[in-house]
Amino acid sequence: MSKEANTERLSTILETLSDITVTLVADFVAGAATYAGVPVAIRLAELGVTVFPVGVVGEDEAGQQILHALHEHRISTSGINKLKNYATPSDASAELIHGEHPALMNLIEHARKFAGASEAVFVCDYGVGAASPRLLNFIKSNRCLQEKTLAARSRDRLTDFEQLTTAIATEAEIERAIGLELGGDPKKLAVAGKGVIEEMRLESLLMISKDKLLAYSGSRKPMAVVPPAAASVEQIDVLGGIFVAALATGAEAVDAAQVAAHVTSFLLNRTAAGKRVRREELLASLALPKTAGRVR
């Protein structure tokens, strides 16, 4: 395929993102402007995606900082529960929302309401409990997520999620899920990705390896996409969010991965330079060499 045709196809996906609404069911962590729910919501909003975050924060300074960061980007926080006697966690090591926690019903209600107006639902699970497999099962029990792009990224329990259409995971997270070391070996990565797709009955999978993104779709061989420079935690979460939004436009997995990789790099570079994101510059920046190829 020519460079021009590739650029035109990816530009169309990018332009269509402004028609997409994503419900983001996520854990929110104190001081974590670089991972979990906050950066995903902000980066999607910068692309014109309508984002409805659903989660929990405390009525403490950390919780207020999270809400302020979202308000600065004109993102609705009506789906985020502000809880008394709840300290916004400083890390993602402890599950705080579990059992019969009083926040669960509000989380389910908000997620169902927003999902009805969304093309996609992205669950970003860091183990706090506000984006757990159990919570997602409750949310979808009324069939509100049928015919939606339903995706999850989970640090430690990806394969506990059910009835997803797609998933985002690092190589290390896949290794933990299947109990095998992959070591970046292309053949092992291909087999592992196919196995996860079959076990979880996914339509697609985005795996972040050490030096590439692997976009899996059905039974086809994975396509390798050049990722942004060393993938940080923030980049992985943002990659996932953009990948999910792009899939919701009807894009193929490899095209969604190309858009996610390029746009993530562009957004983070602009932000690091203190520059405002401009759609015209983002579209122009897509005129790059083709970056996808089959894994051999």
Taking only the tens place, the pLDDT of each residue in 78-98 is 999 999 888 888 776 677 887
The arithmetic mean of pLDDT across residues 262-288, rounded, is: 72
Q: What pLDDT does 229 receive?
A: 52
- Binned at pLDDT 50, 70 and 90, residue 290 comes out as very low
- CATH no. of 3-294: 3.40.1190.20
Q: What pLDDT does 295 receive?
A: 40
Q: What percent of the chain has pLDDT over 70?
A: 87
Reported as a single tens digit per residue, the pLDDT across 187-243 is 999 899 999 999 999 999 999 987 788 899 976 778 877 655 555 666 788 899 999
- Binned at pLDDT 50, 70 and 90, residue 265 comes out as confident
CA triple 93-96-99, angle to 5 deg = 130
pLDDT at 39 over 80: yes
From CA 47, how far away is CA 50, in angstroms rounded?
A: 9
The arithmetic mean of pLDDT across residues 61-77, rounded, is: 92
Write the DSSP symbol of residue 18: G
pLDDT at 131 over 90: yes
The arithmetic mean of pLDDT across residues 121-130, rounded, is: 92
* 264 or 125: which leads in pLDDT: 125
What strands lie across the sheet with 120-125, from one edge to the other?
80-83, 50-58, 21-26, 120-125, 149-154, 166-170, 204-208, 213-217, 223-225, 292-294
Q: What pLDDT does 268 receive?
A: 73
The arithmetic mean of pLDDT across residues 93-111, rounded, is: 85
From CA 100, how far away is CA 103, in angstroms rounded?
A: 8
pLDDT at 289 over 50: no
| Mean residue pLDDT across the chain | 86
Of 246, 230, 179, 196, nearest to 10 (Cα)? Answer: 246
Does the pTM surpass 0.75? The reply is yes
Q: What pLDDT does 275 receive?
A: 64
Q: What pLDDT does 222 receive?
A: 81
Q: What pLDDT does 218 receive?
A: 76
